[in-house]
Structure 1
Amino acid sequence: LNEHIETLFMMPRASYSFLSSQLVKEIATLGGDVSPFVTPEVKEALAAKLGQAGVN
């Protein structure tokens, strides 16, 4: 990134704008399906972080 830029604001897609990371983590921790809320890449990273082979 450019060292002269102090702030970078990234807007999510409208379909993701109502979500918080805490809500997604809670759903995953309780064994719920996070597929409607995150991309496949985020789902894989979440599974790795939580140590779950099969995050739904």
Structure 2
Amino acid sequence: MEQWRADGRRAAVLEVRADNARAQAFYVRRGWVPDAERPPAEGDHRLFLRYVVAGAGE
């Protein structure tokens, strides 16, 4: 995350399987949140998580 901040990145998005609660919990504990801009579609098995880089581009 420090490198992302140094590079001026503001956010990152990753995907996990919607049925993988363990992976979701892993990322949520580290500050990732479900991406409101990419909700899962009907029948889609992916969940997108977003991380906002604090202090980036400031």
Answer whether TM exceeds 0.5 for this pair: no
Which of the two has greater helix per residue? 1
Higher relative contact order (CA 8 A, sep 6+): 2
What is the TM-score when the length of structure 1 is the normalising length? 0.28
Max Rg structure: 1
Which of the two has greater strand per residue? 2
